[in-house]
Amino acid sequence: MSHITLIRHGQANTHAKDEASYDQLSDLGHQQSAWLGAHMQATHQHHTRLYTGTLRRHRETANGMETGMRATEDARLNELEYFTMAQALEDEHGIPVPTAPSEFVHHFPKVLAHWQDDKLKNVPERFSEFETRIKDALTEIGQGDGPALVVTSGGLIAMTMRLHLGLEVGAMANVALAIMNTSMHRLHPIGGTWSPVMFNAVPHLEHPDRHHAQTHV
C-alpha cells in the first residue's frame, strides 16, 4: 500500500444551475491550481502517479498543476450529481432547489439523506453504488507502486472520509461542505489499513494575499 493524496478541483462555475454548466474552472480556479502545483514543486513533494476523474474541472486542475505526469482518467473518481439529485428531490418530494448559495448549506444534507435511504428514484446511481465505486477505485490505486495524486471532487473526498472514519451521512455532509477548492487530503497505510493523516490542507493559500482564494464554492 502506498499513500494517496486526494485533491479537490479548483473553483468551478459558481453561477451554474446544472451539471454541464458547472463543469469548468473559473479564472480563480485556474489560479488556485497553478498555486498548488508551484507549492508542491517548491516543497519537493514526491508522487509517481496521477489520477483524475473524467470531468473537465478535474482535467483543468491537473493540467494547471503542471506535475509533469500524465494523468490516468477514471470515471469512478467523478463527483456525485448534486444538481440532478436536487431536481429529483423537488420533483419527487416537493423540496425546492436552492435559489441562493446560502440555502445550499441546508439543502445538501437533505439530498444526501434522501439518497442514502433510496428515496430518490430519478438519479444516475444509488448511494450504495457511489460508495462502492469509490472504494473500488481507491483500493486499486492504493495497490499500485509509489505515492499517488488523485484530482477529484468534494463529494468523493467526503465519502472517502466516511468510509475510513465511519461517519454517518449527516457528518459526511458537514465534511463535504467544509472542503475547500484545491485542498489536499491524504490517506496513509497504517497497520494494513488506510488512515486519514491530512484533511483540507491549503498551504498554498495561507499567505494573507491569497486568503480570498480559500473558497468552498
Q: Is the dihedral of CA 38, 39, 42, 46 positive or negative?
A: negative
Q: Which letter does DSSP use for residue 118 in this model?
A: T
pLDDT score for 86 = 97
Listed residue (137, 187, 190) closest to 7, CA to CA:
187
Q: What is the predicted pLDDT for the residue at 102?
A: 84
pLDDT in tens, 105-130: 999 999 999 999 999 999 999 999 99
Encoded amino acid at 185, one letter: H
Residues of the chain with pLDDT under 50: none
What the chain holds in terms of domains, given with CATH numbers, is 4-12+24-75+134-213 (3.40.50.1240), 81-124 (no CATH)
Residue in 22, 24, 21, 46 with CA at minimum distance from that of residue 33 = 24
Q: What is the pLDDT of residues 190-212, one digit of tens each?
A: 888 889 999 999 999 999 999 99
Model pLDDT, residue 34: 98
Which pLDDT belongs to residue 29? 98
Give residue 192's pLDDT.
Answer: 82
Residues 4, 135: Cα–Cα separation, whole Å: 13
